[in-house]
Amino acid sequence: MSQTETLSLIQEIESLVSDQLQVVSYKWLSRSYLISSNEAKRLLHEFVEKHEGELEVVYALSGWLKSTIPSYHIRLVTGQKLAEAQQEFDGSCSVQVYSVQTSIPKDPAVLWNAEFIQAEELFKQPASVDNCLRDNRFCGISNSSVQRNVDGQTAVSTTPQIKTVAGLAPTKSNIIPQPPKNTVHNSIAKVDLKPQNMVKDVKSESNGTGNTGVHVNINKPTAEKEKPLPLPTGKKKIQADKSGSATGNSLASFWARPSAKPKPCSVPAENSNMITNPAEATENAQACPHEAEEGDSGDDDNQGVTLRRSSNRKRRVVFDFSDEDEDEVVVNLASPDVPSKQSSQDSRQNDMEFSEKATLNFDVPIENKSMVKEERATEKKVFQPPREDLSVINKCTNTGKSSTDKLQSSTPEICVNKDSVKKATPGSPKRRKVMKTRIDERGREVTEVVWEGEETEAKKADTVTAKKADTVPAKKADNTASTNAVNSAQATKKPAATSNTTGKGGSKKAANSKDPKQGNILSFFKRV
């Protein structure tokens, strides 16, 4: 990096730190300015030298501890405690600047908030975008046996899909994911998840998908179930345009904020990629789900931790779907024939609870039900209406998106299921505003605020299901045509993040209704 560049970057850092009071960490710096992490550390170091004493520095120490049991330790310490902390290390330890900020935040989460959001943004980008996180280009550590899938879906969605492929009909070829992905996914997922802003929904997602992977085999019909979610088609187009701003992304794209890189619409390209290697996919298919699940469950913990830190000012409870779910998954795998029973159960539930649930009732397995209960219990505590809903829905589309197409795994349905459960939360009003998110034909995520009525919705859903059953192919063609393109377009995590950004908007939108022409500031500025 040339001298001038360095200088200008240092100035940037200065303004970020002193004017915007941002915590600038080397990770954030590296991703924002597309420099290698080492370069970023060096810059920060230089910056710190220049501004000695004017700001607070957090150092990352790593080395062997002096304790009896040798353990390798990485520790973040503030400038004042640096020397003290160094004493605890055996021999020499590496000292690198982790971040600079004007003051040491009370809540350590603030330290990685910025980079966290940034990572989230990066992962939210359409899967085809080869950003620095996906290809790991700035990381000093790489594993040659890991293949990165740039166009890919994440582990979560991959699993069900593959399954379907394995278990089901031949039509699949167009959606078939590339086999190598799976492995990659697991590894990537691990990496991803940590920085991701996975609000609890994501978590449930991963569990949910674990489950779904199982169901997929069972029921083809479910594939279409997800569709009721989408809004009237007329609106689709429009929504498409909105989607960006609705999620706050488009604004970001205007401004190319480092944390929110513009997202090129390169969806179609990917599509073609997607189609590759059907044969291989099937081969691998059977093996994959387990792997993927493992990956998921492993991540749960991570997520749990990060989730809490995800939102700036709010703390939220994180669902812990613990291991039972996974167990259940395993069970399911073994005996995938339960559907009929479930469906009846489910439909019963449907009656009580409204919404798209009806649409899914096909094969929500028993375990699922229990999970649902669990969720309900927790739900009461956590209930945060719009955000939650939104995110859940997001989740659906999200998973739906990745697996969509003809056979759409049952992932969406599970999500929807949960979703509906949420809505059914005791004490929820009969009609309420719900954020619906789906993918339009151009591969963009569309979020819409809809009034959801209890009875009407249930009915609708029922009829839809019925209809669907009849006209499956036709409908499919309709609805999925659009989703096709999108298919694997975006990384699974995207919605979660989106939900964060959009979450609140729904409820407040009304205020704006006075003047339809008046723009909304939220479409320009992103929530941090």
Partner 1 sequence: MLELRLVQGSLLKKVLEAIKELVNDANFDCSSTGFSLQAMDSSHVALVALLLRSEGFEHYRCDRNISMGMNLNNMAKMLKCAGNDDIITIKADDGSDTVTFMFESPTQDKISDFEMKLMDIDSEHLGIPEAEYHAIVRMPSSEFARICKDLSSIGDTVVISVTKEGVKFSTKGDIGTANIVCRQNTTVDKPEEATVVEMNEPVSLQFALRYMNSFTKATPLSSTVTISLSNELPVVVEYKIAEMGYVRFYLAPKIEEDEEETKPQV
Given 130, 241, 280, 320, the residue binding partner 1 (CB under 8 A): 241
Using CB under 8 A, pick the residue from 246, 274, 407, 496 that binds partner 1. Answer: 246
Does residue 133 contact residue 119 with C-beta atoms inside 8 Å?
A: yes
Using rule CB under 8 A, residue 242 touches partner 1: yes
Distance CA(446)–CA(238), nearest Å, equals: 9
User: Residue 513: is it exposed, middle or buried by C-beta count within 10 angstroms (0-12/13-18/19+)?
Assistant: exposed
Minimum CB separation of residue 322 from partner 1 in Å reads 30
Beta strands in 65-217 (DSSP E): 72-78, 94-101
C-beta of 8: minimal distance to partner 1 in Å? 13
With contacts defined by CB under 8 A, name the span among 2-10, 17-25, 176-184, 325-333 that binds partner 1. Answer: 17-25
Say how far apart CA 364 and CA 387 lie, in whole Å: 25
72 forms beta bridges with 64
Q: Which of 11, 62, 80, 103 binds partner 1 (CB under 8 A)?
A: 103
Distances, alpha carbon 357 to alpha carbons 229, 284, 348, 372, 437, in Å: 10, 32, 10, 12, 16
Position 313 contacts partner 1 (CB under 8 A): yes
**CA dihedral (170, 172, 178, 181) positive or negative:** negative
Nearer to partner 1, 106 or 381 (CB): 106
Q: Work out the number of other CB atoms within 10 angstroms of the CB of residue 50.
A: 11
Among 375, 448, 452, 457, binds partner 1 (CB under 8 A): 448
Residue of 69, 141, 256, 334 that binds partner 1 (CB under 8 A): 256
For residue 126, which of 443, 466, 462 has the smallest C-alpha distance? Answer: 443
Binder to partner 1 among 264, 340, 466, 525 (CB under 8 A)?
A: 525
Q: What is the 3-state secondary structure (H, E, C) of 222-246?
A: HHHHCCCCCCCHHHHHHHHHHHHHH
State the nearest-atom distance from the C-beta of 475 to partner 1, in Å: 26
| Binding residue (CB under 8 A) for partner 1 from 180, 254, 317, 376 | 254
Q: Of 197-205, 293-301, 329-337, 444-452, which segment contacts partner 1 by CB under 8 A?
A: 444-452
Can residue 520 be called a binding residue for partner 1 (CB under 8 A)? yes
With CB under 8 A as the contact rule, the residue among 38, 96, 102, 425 that binds partner 1 is: 102
Tokens 């954030």, residue located? 28
In the complex with partner 1, the residue whose CB is nearer, 381 or 514, is: 514
Out of 179, 248, 289, 495, the residue judged to bind partner 1 by CB under 8 A = 248
CA distances from 454 to 110, 353, 358, 380, 433 (A): 40, 7, 12, 19, 11
Segment interacting with partner 1 (CB under 8 A) among 15-23, 35-43, 216-224, 369-377: 15-23
Q: Which is nearer to partner 1, 106 or 426 (CB)?
A: 106
Q: Which of 1, 7, 21, 352 binds partner 1 (CB under 8 A)?
A: 21
Nearest-approach distance from CB 501 to partner 1, in angstroms: 9
Which of 355, 447, 480, 499 binds partner 1 (CB under 8 A)? It is 447
Give the list of residues 6+ apart from residue 198 with CB closer than 8 angstroms, or none: 303, 306, 307, 310, 493, 496
250 touches partner 1 by CB under 8 A: yes
Distance CA 212, CA 216 (A): 6
Would you call 450 helix, strand, or coil by DSSP? strand
Separation in Å, CA 158 to CA 52, 120, 380, 419, 452: 49, 19, 31, 21, 31
Q: Which is nearer to partner 1, 18 or 266 (CB)?
A: 18
Q: Which residue intervals of 311-360 are DSSP H helices? A: 324-334, 339-352, 357-360
Element (H, E) at 136: none
Write a three-state SS string for 7-38.
HHHHHHHHHHHHCCCCCEEHHHHHHHCCCCHH
Choose which of 162, 165, 416, 522 interacts with partner 1 (CB under 8 A).
522
Our CB check for partner 1 shows the closer of 113 and 217 to be 113
Interface pick for partner 1 out of 1, 74, 238, 279 (rule CB under 8 A): 238
Of 251-259, 326-334, 348-356, 451-459, the segment contacting partner 1 by CB under 8 A is: 251-259
List Cβ neighbours of 86 (8 Å cut-off, separation of 6 or more). 61, 93, 95
Residues in 482-511 that interact with partner 1 by CB under 8 A: 502, 504-506, 508-509, 511
Part of the chain binding partner 1 (CB under 8 A), chosen from 150-158, 182-190, 284-292, 514-522: 514-522
Site track for partner 1 across 269-308, x = CB under 8 A: ----------------------------------------
DSSP string, 140-158: S---TTPPP-TT---HHHH
Q: Is 385 in the site for partner 1 (CB under 8 A)?
A: no
Q: Residue 449 CB, nearest distance to partner 1 (Å)?
A: 6
CB 471 within 8 A of CB 424: no
Is 106 one of the binding residues for partner 1 (CB under 8 A)?
yes
Residue 381 in the binding site for partner 1 (CB under 8 A): no
- Contact positions toward partner 1, by CB under 8 A? 18-19, 21, 102-103, 105-106, 238, 241-242, 244-246, 248, 250, 252, 254-257, 259-260, 312-314, 447-449, 502, 504-506, 508-509, 511-512, 514-528
